[in-house]
């Protein structure tokens, strides 16, 4: 049995089904976790001030921060967009969330926001990083049983996601779902089928469903910062693919973009005054679109 303590969460394999007690022990990373290679989930966790990262993640993240000094603010701005978009979806009557590329659940995660405003919401988390799954499952055992499921799957294999019994059990695809691809598609290359994957997922959704998406772009970066950031991620487990506005827009297919359309990330329905330095901190597009 795997058990241990990572960051601020205790976990135990028996907890996965919500069954067993929490066991505290000397934490050993799960065998499938390659801690020597930086991973986007753990780098993102570092930007957000989390503790679930390893020296290789921190080293790569610090290099990104050297190229883009506001990277930490950018991660926070992205999480805030996610929260606003989840609340928007609830306001549209959506109660089902398929969050692919979940990241390490932390403050402001999809489930936290959704359940605050709609306690009956159902959330399916999908990620390909074992550490994300460990944390998500530990949370599931503690607070979220019955409302949240966690799938270990890869965005590049949409058939596996859609065919997963866990997804079928948790979500009713004949009713509206908010498909969340927040800060994840830029880890999928064109030649890995990025466009086809998103089209397959869009097709599986019922009318009234939403696509919530944010995506890194070179459009708001200097050429030097874009080249440096891309170079650092090329040594991580997933390379970074920055895309221009029109390429990002194509991911929405024939879904209808909600106001204000596809915009630089902090400008999507902002609630408060934008933080100083947001222009450079958030080199990403964001949009939410509805399937009619
Ligand atoms: C930058 S984090 C974004 C987390 C969260 N969506 C947010 O915006 O706050 C990207 C997440 O996508 C996951 N990811 C990257 N490539 C993936 C893939 N091919 N399939 C599934 N998850 C992936 C990473 O493990 C990481 O958890």
Chain centroid to CA 62: how far?
21
155 lines ligand 1 (CB under 6 A): yes
Strand partners, 211: 179, 289
pLDDT given for residue 143 in this prediction: 63
Strand partners, 5: 10
132 lines ligand 1 (CB under 6 A): yes
* Nearest CA among 115, 137, 135 for reference residue 45: 135
Average pLDDT of the segment spanning 2-23: 30
Atom 13, ligand 1: residue with shortest CA distance: 101
pLDDT given for residue 171 in this prediction: 97
Contacts of 50 (CB under 8 A, 6+ apart): 7, 104, 106
238 lines ligand 1 (CB under 6 A): yes
Cα(128) to ligand 1 centroid in Å equals 8
Cα(104) to ligand 1 centroid in Å equals 9
- Kindly list the domain boundaries of the chain, sorted by start residue: 38-290
Specify the DSSP element, H or E, that contains 100. strand 96-100
Contacts of 148 (CB under 8 A, 6+ apart): 111, 122, 123, 124, 125, 136, 139, 140, 170
Model confidence at 108, pLDDT cuts 50, 70, 90, reads confident
Average pLDDT of the chain to the nearest whole number: 87
Cα(54) to ligand 1 centroid in Å equals 17
Average pLDDT of the segment spanning 74-91: 97
Helix (H, G, I), strand (E, B) or coil at 11: strand
pLDDT given for residue 135 in this prediction: 83
CATH superfamily to which 38-290 belongs: Vaccinia Virus protein VP39 (3.40.50.150)
CB 174 within 8 A of CB 168: no
For residue 78, give the ligand 1 atom closest to its CA. Answer: 8
130-166 pLDDT, tens digit per residue, is 888 888 888 777 666 668 899 999 999 999 999 999 9
């Amino acid at each position: 049995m795997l058990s241990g303590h990572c960051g601020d969460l205790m976990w135990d394999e028996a907890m996965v089904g919500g069954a067993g007690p929490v066991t505290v022990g000397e934490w050993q990373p799960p065998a499938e976790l390659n801690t020597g290679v930086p991973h986007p989930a753990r780098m993102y966790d570092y930007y957000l001030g989390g503790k679930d990262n390893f020296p290789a993640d921190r080293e790569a993240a610090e290099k990104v921060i050297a190229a883009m000094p506001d990277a930490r603010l950018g991660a926070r701005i992205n999480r805030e967009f996610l929260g606003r978009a989840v609340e928007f979806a609830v306001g549209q009557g959506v109660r089902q969330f398929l969050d692919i590329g979940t990241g390490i659940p932390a403050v402001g995660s999809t489930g936290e926001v959704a359940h605050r405003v709609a306690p009956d919401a159902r959330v399916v988390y999908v990620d390909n990083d074992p550490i994300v799954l460990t944390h998500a499952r530990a949370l599931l055992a503690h607070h979220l049983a019955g409302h949240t499921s966690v799938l270990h799957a890869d965005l590049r294999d949409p058939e596996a996601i859609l065919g997963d019994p866990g997804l079928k059990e948790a979500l009713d695809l004949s009713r509206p779902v908010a498909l969340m691809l927040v800060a994840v598609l830029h880890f999928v290359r064109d030649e890995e089928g990025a466009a086809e994957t998103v089209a397959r997922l869009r097709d599986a959704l019922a009318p009234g469903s939403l696509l919530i998406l944010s995506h890194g772009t070179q459009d708001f970066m200097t050429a030097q910062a874009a080249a440096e950031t891309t170079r650092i991620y090329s040594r991580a487990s997933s390379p970074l693919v920055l895309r221009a506005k029109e390429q990002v827009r194509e991911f929405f297919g024939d879904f209808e973009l909600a106001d204000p359309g596809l915009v630089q990330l902090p400008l999507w329905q902002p609630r408060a005054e934008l933080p100083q330095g947001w222009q450079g901190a958030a080199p990403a597009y964001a949009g939410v679109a509805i399937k009619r």
